[in-house]
Structure 1
Amino acid sequence: MKKPVLSTFKILIKKSFNSDIDEIWINWAMEMMEVGFENETLFILAGISKPYNQFELQELTTKVLTELNLDFSNQKTVIKNYVYYLISNSIYKTESYLATLRELKNICIDLNMEDNYMNFYLLYFAKDDLIEQENQHYWNDANRQNIDQIVTENFKNWKTEYETISKTENKLLKS
């Protein structure tokens, strides 16, 4: 059994939003090959170098994802999976919290301030303010001493909820 490549979540969100193809795609293709995924289009993608022809690469990446049975058509699911990826990669790395929260804040903005991601938006500004000053006005009772613990708790809660929902959905699909 091939080991999953976690950066696939980032690739799927980029494709779902029709983002430009860049070196992240090339690195992902090489990582996929390293864990045993093999097909001709993946090899072609891994060998691409700058300058990137976006028209050709959009077509190629669609073909790669289709051949690997990676679905990017449900943007809501792709976003949830990507948020899970971000949180999973930084949940116990407080030094990465601001960067992760920035990415999550941007997702919230891109989704017109969707409630599911609003806490991350507020936590980003609370943490960012506390870097420069003693007080912030985004999160009740958050201060320099407890902001990382608050972020950790929110990350853990979101991750647990995601995993619970995923298990339930998978059970429904199997029945």
Structure 2
Amino acid sequence: MRPLPDSTIRILVCKALDRDFDKNWSDWAVEMLMSGFDTEHLVILAGMREPFDYFEMQTLTTKALHELGLDFSDKRQAVENYVTYLIQTCLGGKLESVKVLAELRDLYLELDYDKALQQFYFLYYAKTDLMIEEVQWYIDGVDRNNIDETIKNYFTEWLKVKSHAKQK
């Protein structure tokens, strides 16, 4: 089976969280077509342009995802997969930690202060405070000397815990 484009993980979390539709959907559809995936509704989606009609896009994206056999029904799993993807991308050196933390902070707020994402929120504010100030008040014992290591360690631990949970 062909590998899915990386943007698919973001698309699935957007669908699972019922986010508004934007240009990313048609860009993803084009990327999917270029990767060799070809379905009726994916072709239509690739041709869509703003402004998007919410109801039309809701139906179209659902059909395209179903044709591809992509499941977005488990919101918790979609979020977990997205968080894992962001962390792996950061640890792989493709995204800055502060950008990943900003995305995870927004996700934490969007999900009504989901406890599983709370530490990312604290890490984001600790990191951004330490970028301009000498101290931060979010995490005890964290300063400019160890913030990046603290973030990396938390990211690594997240991956380890999620990987271990999937093995059970």
Is the structural similarity TM-score above 0.5? Answer: yes
Q: For residues 130 and 94 of structure 1, do their structure 2 counterparts lie closer, same or farther at Cα, with a shift above 3 Å needed? A: farther
C-alpha separation between the residues in 1 aligned to 2:94 and 2:151? 9
Q: For residues 94 and 142 of structure 1, do their structure 2 counterparts lie closer, same or farther at Cα, with a shift above 3 Å needed? A: farther
Residue 52 of structure 2 corresponds to 52
Residue 38 of structure 1 corresponds to 38
AA in 1 matched with 2:121: Y
Which SS does the other structure have where 1:41 is aligned? helix
Task: Please give the per-residue CA displacement for 1:115-137, whole angstroms capped at 9, x wherever unaligned.
Answer: 22111111011001101100001
1:95 deviates by 6.4
Alignment of 1:5-20 (within 5 A): 5-20=5-20
C-alpha separation between the residues in 1 aligned to 2:164 and 2:111? 23
Q: For residues 64 and 100 of structure 1, do their structure 2 counterparts lie closer, same or farther at Cα, with a shift above 3 Å needed? A: same
Residue 105 of structure 2 corresponds to 105
AA in 1 matched with 2:134: E
Q: For residues 144 and 94 of structure 1, do their structure 2 counterparts lie closer, same or farther at Cα, with a shift above 3 Å needed? A: farther
Alignment of 1:126-165 (within 5 A): 126-165=126-165
Which SS does the other structure have where 1:144 is aligned? coil
C-alpha separation between the residues in 1 aligned to 2:167 and 2:13? 22
Which SS does the other structure have where 1:155 is aligned? helix
Q: For residues 68 and 80 of structure 1, do their structure 2 counterparts lie closer, same or farther at Cα, with a shift above 3 Å needed? A: same
1:163 deviates by 2.1
Alignment of 1:84-123 (within 5 A): 84-93=84-93, 96-123=96-123
C-alpha separation between the residues in 1 aligned to 2:112 and 2:134? 30
Residue 29 of structure 1 corresponds to 29
1:112 deviates by 2.8
- Are the counterparts in 2 of residues 13 and 79 from structure 1 also a CA contact under 8 Å? yes
AA in 2 matched with 1:145: N
Unaligned residue ranges in structure 1 (runs of 5+):
169-175
Q: For residues 3 and 95 of structure 1, do their structure 2 counterparts lie closer, same or farther at Cα, with a shift above 3 Å needed? A: closer
Unaligned residue ranges in structure 2 (runs of 5+):
none
C-alpha separation between the residues in 2 aligned to 1:62 and 1:146? 44
Which SS does the other structure have where 1:60 is aligned? helix
- Normalising by the residue count of structure 1, what TM-score does the alignment of the two structures yield? 0.89
C-alpha separation between the residues in 2 aligned to 1:94 and 1:142? 24
Task: Please give the per-residue CA displacement for 1:62-105, whole angstroms capped at 9, x wherever unaligned.
Answer: 11011111111111111111111111111243961111111111
Would you say how many aligned residue pairs link Structure 1 and Structure 2? 168
Identity rate of aligned residues, in percent?
38
- Are the counterparts in 2 of residues 12 and 72 from structure 1 also a CA contact under 8 Å? yes
Q: After TM superposition, which residue ranges in structure 1, 4 or more long, deviate above 6 angstroms?
A: none
C-alpha separation between the residues in 2 aligned to 1:54 and 1:89? 31
